[in-house]
Chains A and B, each alone.
Chain A
Amino acid sequence: MKKLLRFTLSLVLLAGLLAGCAAPAAPNGGAIQLTDGLDRSVSLEQPAQRIVSLAPSATEILFAVGAGGQVVGRDSFSNYPASTAELPDVGGSMGDYSFEAIAKLNPDLVVLTEINTPEQVKSLEDLGLTVYYLKNPVALDGLYPMLESVGTLTGHDKEAAALVTSLKERVKKVQDTIAGAQTTPMVFYELDGSDAAKPWTSGPGTFVDQLIQMAGGSNVGAAMQDAWAQISLEQLLVADPDVILLGDAAYGMTPEQVAARNGWQTLKAVKEGKIYAFNDDLVSRPGPRLVDGLEELARIIHPELYK
């Protein structure tokens, strides 16, 4: 609702702006003007050619719209696609980026997301750099305009539009398949199970939560208060999930370890061996791979529909 309001408002504003400069010269050819996630107005004389990305999701979006060749630097967490490994690392693993390294790369655009702070936006601005801040989408639909604006900034409008179309088609396909589901399995998504008595899980409103629902499952964590929360084993035993997904598989958690945990043997998912490693990057990064995550979730939650 709020989104709709904002969209309408920006349309009205845009209309006003257009009306303001209606008759005389159209905006100078090729100049790009966008409003970013912090409501800052960002303008580029031409599509950005030297881009530094300060977040994995931004890096993935840049590569997905075909601007990978224009990326000249990335943060420490960016690891997809694999070719990002060759790009200079400008830090970020402790929340501190090396502004010196960024300045040295002499970028014409630095892309930040919500894992970055407004202070970092300001610091980069003070260095005379052009900064675009991507606000995390709250739902899958919010991803598409983000892809389109990154396409515009980098001169890949067409690729971005094609990407959006194909993503939408893939989502539709999953939804059509899931429409035939007879059951709604309970799914427990584990973010961090190093404390087996109260593992961390994804709460209501997160992409994990939304995608599990879209994939025809019911998220155990939806009952939590916060977006990221620790669930007590007692509650988990009551919920008795049908499927356990290990988002912490990347940190070495295995189905065997889960099955060996004290008190977990009574869980249905453990008894039936429905514990699966899951690539958390697919659902934790607000980028185009969310759709990959959705497809994978659907396959795990409703294997009977994918035979």
Chain B
Amino acid sequence: MKHTARPYLISLIILIAAALLSVLVGSVFIPPATLADLVKSGLLGQPSALDPNGSFAAILLKLRLPRTALLVLVGAALSGSGAAYQGLFRNPLADPFLIGVSSGAGAGAVIAMSIQWPYTTLGLMAVPIAAFSGAMLSVLVVTQLARVGKTIPTTNLILAGVSVSAFASALTSLLMINSTGELRRAIVWLMGGSTLTGWNPVLGALPYVIIGLGVLLFLGHPLNVMQFGDEQAQQLGVPVQRVRMVIIFTATLATSAAVAYAGVIGFVGLVIPHVVRLLWGGDYRRLLPLSMICGASLLLITDVVARAILAPQEIPVGIITALLGAPFFLWVLKRSKSQNYW
């Protein structure tokens, strides 16, 4: 029992440390004394003497905490979905964006950005809503195109996904070139830059990520069985087609919500499941939750780097995930003893 608990313990400790780091480190340094005073006065419900105009409190409560929370959700959503997709497609190169989530979201977001919205709550929600709809829509199109009768062959799904992605990306580029407005906004969004700050994005993404990942957590066993191939799994009593539809739907739900608020953040969803698999084995009952926890940690750590490296400038976190994630993954890969862990 102790043995099975250890990976969880380790990864949770890393997650908590990363979350603390993410709250404590930023482009503005908050002196420890001020921080202690802020926490104390916050608990007592009094204004802090060391923060007379409240700017440190605002930085902590309105910028850093919600950002940390959003990154935990996004990292968990991307890595959890990535692990599920890799299992579903039995393909080590599968990532949460394989069947069109990111390109669909990108097209939706850029379409929304090409319109001048009035400065209202709805106008501000236009981009996330359009990104979410674009992502869901493109996956819907992909599954419909790939469907043969009542089944969805894996190869069809991947090919349809790649084609629809290419189409949506081309559409996005065309829209960006034709737009008279600011290209930078779209470019930053596509690189995984932040759009809205504060608690609204967290509350907006939370239900979808919880539903999506919550369902995925129960699919570890069927995914394990499906590694023997669809026919064997069917014979062993796993309703393969239904499991496949559920995974596609829930993973899309979670990643669409993540992408809608955080932009396209690459690499986390691809690499973290592999790292977890290398460290703790390929049992999907463990792989799924551990990927979610570690994905959140990786995104938090890369974000700290993204904020600190060129302070006060902030780099879109999507750049850093690949910049840090790729060497880290190669290191783990090189270090692993087993030749064919997959």
Contacts and interface: CB of A to CB of B under 8 A. Distances in A.
Interface in A195-235: 226-228
Contact of B59 (A40, A103, A123): A103
B312 interface: yes
A104 B28 CA distance: 7
Interface string A114-137: 110111011100111000000000
Given A103-B55, A104-B28, A95 B184 contact: yes
Contacts of A91: 27, 312-314
Contacts of B197: 99, 123, 126
B116 to A, nearest CB: 9
Interface in A109-158: 114-115, 117-119, 121-123, 126-128
B26 A122 contact: no
Q: Which of A76, A96, A106 has the most CB of B within 10 A?
A: A96
B316 interface: yes
B55 A106 contact: yes
B187 interface: yes
B235 interface: no
Given A39-B119, A98-B313, A103-B55, A126 B26 contact: no
B56 to A, nearest CB: 8
B28 A92 contact: no
B178 A226 contact: yes
A96 B63 CA distance: 14
Contacts of A98: 27-28, 307, 311-314
Contacts of B64: 100
Contacts of A105: 55
Interface string B180-205: 11101101100001111110000000
Contacts of B56: 104
A89 interface: yes
A162 interface: no
A116 to B, nearest CB: 9
A39, A105, A119, most chain B CB atoms within 10 A? A119
Given A103-B55, A115-B184, A121-B119, A92 B313 contact: yes
A126 B62 contact: yes
B124 A119 contact: yes
Contacts of B26: 100
Given A101-B312, A122-B196, A123-B196, A128 B188 contact: no
Interface residues of B, number: 39
B313 A96 contact: yes
B315 interface: yes
A4 interface: no
Nearest to B194: A96
A94 B124 contact: no
A119 B195 contact: yes
A99 B63 contact: yes
B312 A89 contact: yes
Interface string A53-97: 000000000000000000000001000000000001111111111
A118 B117 contact: yes
Contacts of B229: none
A171 to B, nearest CB: 25
A88 B311 CA distance: 11
A226 B28 CA distance: 41
Contacts of B119: 38-40, 118, 121
Interface in B234-284: none
A261 B97 CA distance: 43
Contact of A123 (B117, B127, B198, B313): B198
B123 A118 contact: yes
B315 A94 contact: yes
A103 B117 CA distance: 26
A114 B118 contact: no
A220 B291 CA distance: 56
Contact of A96 (B53, B55, B316): B316
B132 to A, nearest CB: 16
B316 A101 contact: no
A243 to B, nearest CB: 26
Interface string A264-281: 000000000000000000
Contact of B196 (A39, A119, A127, A228): A119
A101 B27 contact: yes
Given A106-B53, A123-B198, A96 B117 contact: no
A115 B119 CA distance: 15
Nearest to B193: A96
B315 A100 contact: no
A115 B316 contact: no
Interface string B40-62: 00000000000001111011001
Nearest to A104: B28
Interface string B198-214: 10000000000000000
A76 B313 contact: yes
Nearest to A89: B312
Nearest to A126: B198
A94 B188 contact: yes
Interface string A18-39: 0000000000000000000011
A90 B27 CA distance: 9
Given A98-B307, A100-B26, 9 more contacts: A39-B118, A95-B193, A96-B193, A98-B313, A104-B28, A115-B182, A118-B117, A119-B195, A126-B198
Interface of B: 26-28, 53-56, 58-59, 62-64, 117-119, 123-124, 127, 178, 180-182, 184-185, 187-188, 193-198, 307, 311-316
Rank and list the top 8 A-B pairs by shortest CB-CB distance, nearest first: A38-B119, A98-B312, A95-B188, A123-B197, A91-B313, A100-B28, A101-B312, A96-B314
Interface of A: 38-40, 76, 88-101, 103-106, 114-115, 117-119, 121-123, 126-128, 226-228
13 contacts: A88-B312, A89-B312, A93-B313, A94-B313, A98-B307, A100-B28, A117-B182, A117-B185, A117-B195, A123-B196, A126-B198, A127-B62, A127-B63
